[in-house]
Amino acid sequence: MSDRDDGDGLDASDGPRRSFRSLLHRQPDDERGHLPDEGALGPLSRATAWLNSPPLTPAGLRGRVVLVDFWTFTCVNWLRTAPYLRAWHAKYAAAGLTVVGVHTPEFGFEHDLATVTERVRRLGIEYPVAVDSDYGVWGDFDNHYWPALYVADADGRLRYHHFGEGEYMMTEMVLQQLLLDAGADGIDGDLVSPEAHGLEVAADWRSLRSPETYLGYGQSSGFASEDAGLYDLSSVYPGGARLALNEWDLAGRWTQTRDAAVLDEPGGRISFAFHARDANLVMGPAAGRGAVPFRVLLDGKAPGEAHGTDVDALGNGVLDRQDTFQLVRQPGPVATRLLEVEFPEGGAEAFCFTFG
């Protein structure tokens, strides 16, 4: 997940990849001014479970416009699209739209069905969700990105797709056109304007200069103390390096695994020099551990009004689940800042920084 495509997205031709920003814009209509035919709606039969619905099939969905959305619950790029998906479901389901979320996991803990079920409830997702823990639906769609959406008409033909965030107006206009083509009544032409909170608030792209950054050695970049000889070994990292923009470091006893940095003893710290309004970290307690407290410092001080939704003004927070935690949301001018996350107890594992 570290190979960038011109700084705007991440490819996944050799495995799952998460998009950093929108990769593609809307393809132009064909010469007749109609949405192009992109082939048949892919099968959904290789989902490992279904939530909010019995199993769905392209044949059973015939006559309805279908939006298939690939997501995973820690992906901040997808989280920022979630308000629109919920709003489209609420507005157009009765008019003939079926939204199908395909949850294809990135990290190991995202395979757990009970966890996915709880996140679906917490996120207020009421439309059907195909749990795709074995990447079957992902493969059948030849999908390469989170988030990615595909829209099929009432005849089961794909007519539009979009990878990454954005293009909400275009997507909704496509939905309206296809619903009207299918004979729907009461499509008023207005576009949804959902409210967003916390991690779902759109990024401040104008000030964003820090990329998604993984802490596991399989995809890590910018690690000031990187040492291949220490991979998968419990090691003491001294920390204290002066970090340039988008560099990070560890202090304390950690094991850098392929997927995460795992804290082996109390008193560890992760530092990151970032430039963005928001700073988030995918992390949680290691398997078999209870809740793990942590504290966030910004330029060596408590974050105050710049605290994120998962910490208080003093920077205190608790890892009570494996998830994306918002650590910082700066209310004023954005500048390069030093973020430090301190763990007074061991047993934390950290996977990926994201920014917005």
Nearest Cα neighbor of 98 from 147, 132, 54 is 54
Q: CA-CA distance, 65 to 183, in Å (whole number)?
A: 11
Q: Which two tokens stand for residue 105?
A: 């996991």
- Quote the pLDDT of residue 38: 81
More confident residue, 20 or 297: 297
**Nearest CA to 172 among 67, 29, 68, 41?**
67
pLDDT for res 37: 78
Residue of 111, 276, 154, 279 whose CA lies nearest to 206: 276
Q: How far apart are CA 190 and CA 90, in angstroms?
A: 14
d(CA 86, CA 312): 28
Query: Is the pLDDT higher at 22 or at 214?
Result: 214
Going by pLDDT thresholds of 50, 70 and 90, the confidence category of residue 19 is very low
Identify the structural domains of the chain with CATH numbers, from first to last.
49-200 (3.40.30.10), 213-355 (2.60.120.260)
Q: What is the mean pLDDT of the chain?
A: 90
Predicted confidence band of residue 25 (pLDDT cuts 50, 70, 90): very low
Condensed to tens digits (0 to 9), the pLDDT of residues 81-122 reads 999 999 999 999 999 999 999 999 999 999 999 999 999 999
Residue 11, pLDDT score: 32
**pTM > 0.85:** yes
Low-confidence winner among 77-81, 136-140, 237-241 (lowest mean pLDDT): 237-241
pLDDT at 333 over 50: yes
Please say if the pLDDT value at position 327 is more than 50. Answer: yes
What is the pLDDT, as a whole number, of residue 23? 31
Query: Mean pLDDT over residues 314-337, rounded?
Result: 96
Kindly state the tokens that stand for 43. Answer: 């099968």
Distance between CA atoms of 309 and 326, rounded to whole angstroms?
6
φ, ψ for residue 110 (rounded to 5)?
A: -80, 0
Residue 27 has pLDDT above 50, yes or no: no
Report d(CA 201, CA 220) in Å as an integer. 26
The residue written with tokens 């795709």 in the block is 132
Q: What is the predicted pLDDT for the residue at 32?
A: 33
pLDDT in tens, 179-205: 999 999 989 989 999 999 999 999 999
Q: Is the pLDDT of residue 303 over 90?
A: yes
Query: Buried (b) or exposed (e) across 148-180, using 16+ Cβ within 10 A?
Result: bbbbbbbebbbbbbbbbbbbbeebbebbbbbbe
- The proportion of the chain whose per-residue pLDDT surpasses 90, expressed as a percent, equals 86
Going by pLDDT thresholds of 50, 70 and 90, the confidence category of residue 293 is very high
Q: Which two tokens stand for residue 293?
A: 């407290």
Distance CA 284, CA 324 (A): 9
